[in-house]
Chains A and B, each alone.
Chain A
């Protein structure tokens, strides 16, 4: 960083990963996990706003019952591109590739991930896949839905299925390689004294997430490759007219795509755990159980996929078993929620921005999780299957859960990433705007779905208009809630007050090094001698007088 333009702009003197070298090449050829995290941040933010643009078009079209904005065919493309971009190019990489990449080596006291060059190539692979998908969007898009059900996708659709599928196939490898890198790093790169049960929960959830990434992603990759091959060479693997089995495609697709939901939400649970303990200033309740629950979710999550297919003609016995297994996954999820509650109980809770997101996550995740149980029930699922009830449910999990967690984490670690604080009051305001906008957007959709409005239609009966208008109005508020952080976070990179190494203060190793961290993370390899989240026994973190402008506590002087 330069010496600054004026006395009012404080500067960060020490050598850190941001100012160690300059120029486009120093970023595009970097192997520093922190820089790669920022590269991902830029890529996925672009994809997020692209996917968001499709959401805006969808909501605008649904303002009127006749669907005045676009034709049914165009609408099909809108919801497909919204789903494809948001799921494969934003939600799946969001927390792992940005926050996980940045934080895992810092949290375990390592200099970098185990395979830094592989990490950089993951980013290039991700963008290559993104380019294929962008190409298909520019050439006219895809209309199969993000689920690519056969034989529509492999035979009938006249849109750019192959380019999109190839894009997702390629991007899948970036996910696989990220997961591989995380697992190896967590196993082999921990600092002296950083035992398994001293790892922050953020690391545990990323380990569980990585397991899903390496076990699930290859299956969807080969499945989508078969769809592309079948489409190009007119084969019949998933085509009943040629002796194939279309339901087999659904099984293989959901074998990945249901666990993929846990790729999105498990890291957000990890973030939330960090936020709750830090801002309740209390040791996490049931550390071992929360860690085990992450694995419970990852493992059981692999055995619930057919609950997406209750009306696709699977046998009633299979349906019953998958229904019971789907209920089981609620147990570890609930364990987490109860442990967060117990951590908050009698803690000294403060209302900093990340905490607002953390609490928002819990509320919205509970809503999304409980409505998921409705959908796991065989009888009820037949009634609400493929209605807006499902749409509302998974948006509560993916947007209310994963995106709240992502933004909460981004705010919480922003002082570490940028070295500076964002404007707290504005940030809190936008967190509340986001929460209100989100609920106004998606709660009406539960009612719409229960009343019978099917998903993926560009027009609807007039009696549903009021709820649809409410939803569109909510979406515009939600949009403001997303735009505000983008502006003030970028602003804060230059003009925000200097954060110091540990502004909250929190217990993790990542807060023991300067903000932004030096290129190799720690000047001296740290040796860990304390238990995780042990606020009470960390003299360096005893909180003195509250700092009114932050709403939480000033860091104690560190040596």
Chain B
């Protein structure tokens, strides 16, 4: 081996081994994330099977327009992230920084819309707890629905916030020219994470927003 690359950690033989390890590490991490969210999806499934009518009624109190907009925003952010990964592979620094910045912007738009929705639920007493109020027969199931709504979208939003932070770090480093054709593993594996968080939302959106729609 000739000159060691400055990004090569001492435990690895070469950059190729390091890339393999980092990428496998991210995939394994995403598997644990699937199991983590999986527990919540399981709880949701059981609760909805127990109270189908209550869940459908409660679901009608969610704003499909805002939720749909957010879905579109996230899908676009996945596109910009994928383009950022491409830019890093072909070693185009400005293009990489640009798409990373766009990804951050779209992530922030998502979070702002989510915050507007949360505020709306507070105003309408749809946050579980002592202030919760809902029309009589389905009040309990509706509270359960909103418990899960906040747990699932809250956990997802937390992942979004972490994702925005990660991409922001990438942006700074990309601007400084840290990533080259030779070494851009962090961009690739952060892309995997971003797409994963996106896919979680693709499942959350219909399960939470669309189950109450009239057929």
Looking at the assembled complex, report how far the CB atom of B169 sits from the nearest CB atom of chain A, in whole angstroms. Answer: 15
CA–CA, A111 and B17, complex, Å: 13
A299 contacts chain B at the CB level, 8 A cutoff: no
**Is B17 a contact of A219 with CB atoms below 8 Å?**
no
B36 contacts chain A at the CB level, 8 A cutoff: yes
Chain A interface category by residue count: 35 or more
Looking at the assembled complex, report how far the CB atom of B189 sits from the nearest CB atom of chain A, in whole angstroms. Answer: 12
A67 contacts chain B at the CB level, 8 A cutoff: no
Nearest residue in B to A187 (C-beta to C-beta)? Answer: B24
Known contacts A183-B28, A248-B46; is A222 also within 8 Å of B39 by CB? yes
* Other-chain contact of A218, B39, B130, B143, B144 (Cβ < 8 Å): B39
Which A residues are CB-close (under 8 A) to B60? none
Stretch at the interface among A209-217, A333-341, A416-424: A209-217
Complex A-B: 25 CB contacts under 8 Å: A112-B11, A114-B25, A180-B25, A180-B29, A183-B24, A184-B24, A187-B24, A189-B12, A216-B35, A217-B32, A218-B32, A218-B36, A219-B38, A219-B39, A222-B40, A226-B39, A233-B128, A233-B129, A237-B144, A243-B47, A243-B50, A243-B141, A243-B143, A248-B43, A520-B10
**Is A111 a contact of B10 with CB atoms below 8 Å?**
yes
CA–CA, A116 and B32, complex, Å: 19
Closest 9 CB pairs of A and B: A218-B36, A222-B39, A112-B11, A243-B140, A218-B35, A114-B21, A188-B21, A235-B147, A219-B39
* Other-chain contact of B144, A216, A233, A234, A236 (Cβ < 8 Å): A236
**Is A242 a contact of B28 with CB atoms below 8 Å?**
no
Nearest residue in A to B38 (C-beta to C-beta)? Answer: A219
User: For B33, B40, B51, which residue has the most chain A Cβ atoms within 10 angstroms?
Assistant: B40
B76 contacts chain A at the CB level, 8 A cutoff: no
**Is B31 a contact of A215 with CB atoms below 8 Å?**
yes
CA–CA, A111 and B13, complex, Å: 9
A229 contacts chain B at the CB level, 8 A cutoff: yes
B66 contacts chain A at the CB level, 8 A cutoff: no
**Is B35 a contact of A214 with CB atoms below 8 Å?**
yes
CA–CA, A234 and B38, complex, Å: 23
A402 contacts chain B at the CB level, 8 A cutoff: no
CA–CA, A183 and B17, complex, Å: 14
**Is A114 a contact of B11 with CB atoms below 8 Å?**
yes
Which A residues are CB-close (under 8 A) to B36? 218-219, 221-222
Looking at the assembled complex, report how far the CB atom of A254 sits from the nearest CB atom of chain B, in whole angstroms. Answer: 13
Nearest residue in B to A252 (C-beta to C-beta)? Answer: B39
Which A residues are CB-close (under 8 A) to B20? 187-188
Which B residues are CB-close (under 8 A) to A223? 39
B8 contacts chain A at the CB level, 8 A cutoff: no
Report how many residues on chain B are interfacial, defined by Cβ distance under 8 Å. 38
Which B residues are CB-close (under 8 A) to A245? 46-47, 50
CA–CA, A242 and B146, complex, Å: 13
CA–CA, A242 and B54, complex, Å: 13
B135 contacts chain A at the CB level, 8 A cutoff: no
**Is A189 a contact of B17 with CB atoms below 8 Å?**
yes
Nearest residue in B to A241 (C-beta to C-beta)? Answer: B140
Which A residues are CB-close (under 8 A) to B31? 214-215
- For the complex with contacts A176-B32, A242-B144, 12 further pairs of A-B residues with Cβ separation under 8 Å are A180-B29, A180-B32, A184-B28, A218-B39, A226-B43, A233-B147, A235-B143, A237-B147, A243-B47, A245-B47, A248-B46, A525-B13
CA–CA, A115 and B129, complex, Å: 42
* Other-chain contact of B143, A180, A217, A236, A248 (Cβ < 8 Å): A236
CA–CA, A282 and B14, complex, Å: 37
Looking at the assembled complex, report how far the CB atom of B38 sits from the nearest CB atom of chain A, in whole angstroms. Answer: 7
Which B residues are CB-close (under 8 A) to A140? none
CA–CA, A233 and B147, complex, Å: 10
B79 contacts chain A at the CB level, 8 A cutoff: no
Looking at the assembled complex, report how far the CB atom of B158 sits from the nearest CB atom of chain A, in whole angstroms. Answer: 12
Which A residues are CB-close (under 8 A) to B10? 111-112, 520
**Is B144 a contact of A243 with CB atoms below 8 Å?**
yes
A244 contacts chain B at the CB level, 8 A cutoff: yes
B151 contacts chain A at the CB level, 8 A cutoff: yes
**Is A234 a contact of B11 with CB atoms below 8 Å?**
no
Looking at the assembled complex, report how far the CB atom of A265 sits from the nearest CB atom of chain B, in whole angstroms. Answer: 21
B207 contacts chain A at the CB level, 8 A cutoff: no
Which B residues are CB-close (under 8 A) to A217? 32, 35
Chain B 42-54 interface mask (CB, 8 Å, partner A; 1/0): 1100110011001
A113 contacts chain B at the CB level, 8 A cutoff: yes
Nearest residue in A to B42 (C-beta to C-beta)? Answer: A252
**Is B143 a contact of A111 with CB atoms below 8 Å?**
no
CA–CA, A137 and B87, complex, Å: 53
CA–CA, A9 and B17, complex, Å: 43
